[in-house]
Structure 1
Amino acid sequence: MDDSVGAIGEGVSRSTYEVRPEFDVAGVGIGRWLQSLTRAGQVQVRDGRLQLLTSYGREIDSAPLEEVRFSDWYAAGKRTLARVGGTRYLLRLEDQPRRDLRELVRVAHAKAEADRGSLGD
């Protein structure tokens, strides 16, 4: 039987219905100023939303990419300040994932701005 035909339980794999995240990095330290929320959390971008998750997969916070901001100020080490919705979080990310995430959010902001500009005509 073809895996893409039928209902779950009739040969269809679960992955057929799962949406892969556009960005997914684990082992992220997530805190709110001096309070550590998780030392091994996860940052995901899926369906235009950024999600901060605990190491157990429970959502800490999420917001549309248009409502996510990064500060140009970096704390010591591999940390960056992110504003998700209206809440500030201190994220501990390696350099490459941090650059990738910032670029993904920058592109989302540019697309949203372009959509607003084209709709305003």
Structure 2
Amino acid sequence: MPEPEFSVLGVRIERWTRSLTRAGQVIVRDGTLSLLRSDGALIDSAPLDAVTTGRPWFAGDGRLVARLNGTRYSLTAPEPGDGLLETLRGAHG
């Protein structure tokens, strides 16, 4: 398996008000964004071109919203400034 182009551990992943994991992983590999639970199970994945991202105006640093395959996920990075939002936005050009 090739090395990921970008990876962040310890990401809180929520779908609406439901927490899916408090220590998940976000991986960008071969042009695909994957959201994984803390046990490594796949939550969702989609090609980067099909992923939309944004940062809610009320959210603090390190928090963003990503829409994969029509499902909205809230992602909170363990440390603000880890490059998660910049990487996902940069992938769109």
Q: TM-score range by the shorter chain?
A: 0.7 to 0.9
Identity %: 54
- For these two proteins, the number of residue pairs brought into alignment is 91
How has the CA–CA distance of structure 1 residues 26 and 104 changed in structure 2, closer, same or farther, with 3 Å as cutoff? Answer: same
Q: What CA distance in whole angstroms lies between the structure 1 residues aligned with 2:30 and 2:74?
A: 23
Q: Which structure 1 residue ranges, 5 or more long, are not aligned?
A: 1-17, 111-121
Match of 2:80 in 1: 95
Q: Structure 1 residue 101: deviation in Å?
A: 2.8
Equivalences for residues 45-56 of structure 1 within 5 A? 45-56=28-39
Higher-helix-fraction structure: 1
CA 1:76–1:37 in structure 2 vs 1: closer, same or farther (change >3 Å)? same
- For residue 32 of structure 1, what is the amino acid of its counterpart? R
Structure-2 residue corresponding to 1:8: none
* 2:60 aligned with 1:86: no
Aligned residues: CA RMSD: 1.6
Cα pair distance change 1:62/1:108, threshold 3 Å: same
Aligned 1:1-121 pairs, distance under 5 A: 18-77=1-60, 78-93=62-77, 94-97=79-82, 100-110=83-93
For 1:108 and 1:95, locate their aligned partners in 2 and report how far apart those are by CA, in whole Å.
Answer: 19
Larger relative contact order (Cα-Cα within 8 Å, sequence gap ≥ 6): 2
Label 1:38 to 1:74 Cα distance change in 2 as closer, same or farther (>3 A). farther
Q: Which has the higher strand share?
A: 2
